[in-house]
Structure 1
Amino acid sequence: MKKYQRILVAIDIYSEYDHVLQRALSIATNKSHLHLVFVTLPSTYFQPYISDVGGEYVAEIHKQAKLCLQDIATKNHIPTKQVYLPIGNTADEIHTLADEMHADLIVIGTHGRSGVKLLLGSTANSVLHGAKQDVLAVKMA
């Protein structure tokens, strides 16, 4: 089996990410091979009002995500310089980062939805179908 040297782990700090992280840690031969990413959306929509919230709200989410990801990296002995926090479309940013860092594996969580929800798209599905690298979709508990 191929040994992965650069593993990009997509972490959703607002979800149960521990299972995804533990799977990535079990694959890595060295914790320094792991790179963590959380993508902040440039704006957020709240239903039922469908109002666009950006600016300071997005900056606050980004700041909190940075602290959280750095904490996760420190607790798991992953170099904090390997923490990435781009702002944009999640799948696009993961693809771009994976290409730039020459990742050979992307690890991402999936809720395992199917049918209509899969047809409408999910982040994991978008990452899988646009990636040049191997993708491990870890089913969330």
Structure 2
Amino acid sequence: MAQYSKIMIAVDLSEDSAEVATKASAIAGGDTSGLHLIHVIEPLSFAYGGDIPMDFSGIQDEIHQQATQQLTAFGNAHGIPAERQHIVLGRPEVEIHNAAQEIDADLIVVGSHGRYGLALLMGSTANGVLHGATCDVLAVRVGDHD
């Protein structure tokens, strides 16, 4: 197994995120000095495609503020300091690739729900991260394992 010195952990801040972080920490041998966290917030305009003539900026700011608080608590619980916690706005697969390149990560760890069929065709973050990554990617199976 390759030795990884900089590991980007992509989390959605759901309860499954702890499983992803635990796996990344195990790969790092318990040494958290090379671990980075990233959480990507998708703009509300992506979800609604501009179909609703509404100003989402206040709601988007609230989402960002809550995500920052959650990521800070999550990072502290896993021994990852604030300077290695990243919150960005955009498409998850694009922003995870960008952040991994920026820190020169040699591994991205992301959770995967093991979707198949139509759900996979509709796209998943893990699938998007896998395709186009310039480093190794580990998709950790989370959620229901049926």
CA-CA distance at 1:15 after TM superposition = 4.8
What SS does the aligned partner of 2:128 have?
A: helix
| Cα distance between partner residues in 1 of 2:17 and 2:127 | 17
| Match among 77, 81, 84 for residue 82 of structure 1 | 84
- The amino acid of 2:101's aligned partner reads D
Match in the other structure for 1:39: 40
Moved over 2 A (4+): 50-54
Question: How does 1:25-64 map onto structure 2 within 5 Å?
Answer: 25-29=25-29, 30-43=31-44, 45=47, 51=52, 54-64=56-66
Match in the other structure for 1:112: 114
Match in the other structure for 2:3: 3
CA-CA distance at 1:59 after TM superposition = 1.1
CA-CA distance at 1:7 after TM superposition = 0.3
| Cα distance between partner residues in 2 of 1:15 and 1:111 | 13
Structure-2-length-normalised TM-score: 0.87
**Structure 2 unmatched ranges of 5 or more:** none
| Cα distance between partner residues in 2 of 1:62 and 1:32 | 26
Structure-1-length-normalised TM-score: 0.90
Aligned residues: 138
| Cα distance between partner residues in 2 of 1:53 and 1:85 | 22
What SS does the aligned partner of 1:71 have?
A: helix
**Structure 1 unmatched ranges of 5 or more:** none
CA-CA distance at 1:16 after TM superposition = 2.1
User: 1:45-99 CA deviation, whole Å, 9 max, x = no partner?
Assistant: 47xxx74773111111111111111111112211221000010111100000011
RMSD: 1.7
User: 1:102-126 CA deviation, whole Å, 9 max, x = no partner?
Assistant: 0000000011011111122111101
| Cα distance between partner residues in 1 of 2:56 and 2:2 | 42
| Cα distance between partner residues in 2 of 1:77 and 1:36 | 11
